[in-house]
C-alpha cells in the first residue's frame, strides 16, 4: 500500500505528465501552423508518449490500492518561436521532468517503498533517452543555423519518428 506522501506525489506526477502531453501537443500545433510537418509529427508522438507515462502512474496507483486524484492542468503556451527555440524548451522541460522523477525516487527510498522504486527505474531510464534525443535535435538545429535547406532536411528527418 502506498503512503499518503507517496500517493500525493504520484498524483502530482500524473498532472506533470499530462501537462507534458498538453505542452507537446501545443508545440505540434505551432509547428503545423509554421509548415514544419516533421517537427509537428515528432512533438505529437511525444505528446502521446507523455499521456502514456501519465497512465502508467495512474495504473500504478490503482494497482497499489491507492486513490488517484486528478489535479488541474495549466494551459500550455500557444506561440513558441523558431524550431531551435522550441527544442531548447523541450530539452529544458525534459531536464525538469527528470528532476521530478528523481525526487519521486528519493521519496520512495525514504518510504522504503520497493515496488515504487522498481517502477520508477523505468522512468529514470526513459528520461536518459528523452534528454539524449532532445539534445541531439538541439545540436543539429544549432549546426543548421540560418541554412533553411538544412532546416527543412532536419524537419524531414525528425518526421521519420515512429516509421523506423
For the whole model, what pTM was predicted? 0.91
Q: How far is Cα 93 from Cα 105, in angstroms, rounded to an integer?
A: 19
pLDDT at 99 over 90: yes
CATH number of the CATH domain containing 114:
1.20.1260.10
Q: Does residue 90 fall inside a structural domain?
A: yes
Question: Where on the phi/psi map is residue 75: left (φ > 0), alpha (ψ -120 to 50), or beta?
Answer: beta
Domain assignment present for residue 34? The answer is yes
116 part of a folded domain: yes
Mean pLDDT, rounded, for 65-82 = 97
The answer to whether residue 39 sits within a structural domain is yes
Answer yes or no: are the C-beta atoms of 151 and 141 closer than 8 Å.
yes
Averaged pLDDT score across all residues of the chain:
94
* Separation of alpha carbons 60 and 10, rounded Å: 9
Whether 113 is covered by a domain: the verdict is yes
Q: What is the pLDDT of residues 75-88, one digit of tens each?
A: 999 999 999 999 99
pLDDT at 146: 61
d(Cα 13, Cα 63) in Å, to the nearest integer? 16
- Give yes or no for residue 115 having a pLDDT over 80: yes
The number of domains in the chain is 1
pLDDT for 144: 79
102 pLDDT band (50/70/90 cuts)?
very high
CA 25, distance to chain mean position in Å, is 11
pLDDT reported for residue 155: 81
Q: Which domain holds residue 145?
A: 4-158
**In a 10 Å sphere around its CB, with 0-12 CB exposed, 13-18 middle and 19+ buried, how is residue 143 labelled?**
exposed
pLDDT in tens, 16-52: 999 999 999 999 999 999 999 999 999 999 999 999 9
Please, which contacts does 119-126 make with residues 24 or more away whose CB atoms are closer than 8 Å? 119/56, 119/60, 122/56, 123/53, 123/56, 126/53
Is residue 151 pLDDT above 80, yes or no?
A: no
Q: Say whether pLDDT at 161 is over 90.
A: no
Domain contains 117:
yes
Q: Give the confidence band of 148 by pLDDT, cuts at 50, 70, 90.
A: low
| 52 backbone dihedrals φ, ψ, rounded to 5° | -60, -40
pLDDT score of 150: 74
pLDDT for position 142: 84
The answer to whether position 163 is within a domain reads no
Spatial distance between the Cα atoms of 6 and 153, rounded to a whole number of angstroms: 45
55 occurs within a structural domain? yes
Q: How many helices (H) and strands (E) does the chain have?
A: 5, 0
Amino acid at each position: 500500500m502506498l503512503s499518503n506522501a507517496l500517493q500525493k506525489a504520484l498524483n502530482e506526477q500524473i498532472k506533470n505528465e499530462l501537462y507534458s502531453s498538453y505542452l507537446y501537443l501545443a508545440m505540434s500545433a505551432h509547428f503545423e501552423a509554421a509548415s514544419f510537418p516533421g517537427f509537428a509529427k515528432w512533438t505529437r508522438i511525444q505528446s502521446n508518449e507523455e499521456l502514456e507515462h501519465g497512465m502508467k502512474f495512474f495504473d500504478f496507483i490503482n494497482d497499489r490500492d491507492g486513490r488517484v486524484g486528478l489535479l488541474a492542468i495549466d494551459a500550455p503556451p500557444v506561440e513558441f518561436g523558431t524550431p531551435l527555440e522550441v527544442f531548447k524548451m523541450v530539452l529544458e522541460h525534459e531536464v525538469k521532468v527528470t528532476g521530478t522523477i528523481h525526487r519521486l525516487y528519493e521519496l520512495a527510498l525514504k518510504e522504503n517503498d520497493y515496488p515504487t522504486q522498481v517502477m520508477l527505474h523505468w522512468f529514470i531510464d526513459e528520461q536518459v533517452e528523452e534528454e539524449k534525443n532532445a539534445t541531439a535535435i538541439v545540436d543539429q538545429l544549432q549546426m543548421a543555423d540560418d541554412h533553411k535547406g538544412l532546416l527543412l532536411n532536419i524537419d524531414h528527418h525528425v518526421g521519420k519518428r515512429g516509421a523506423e
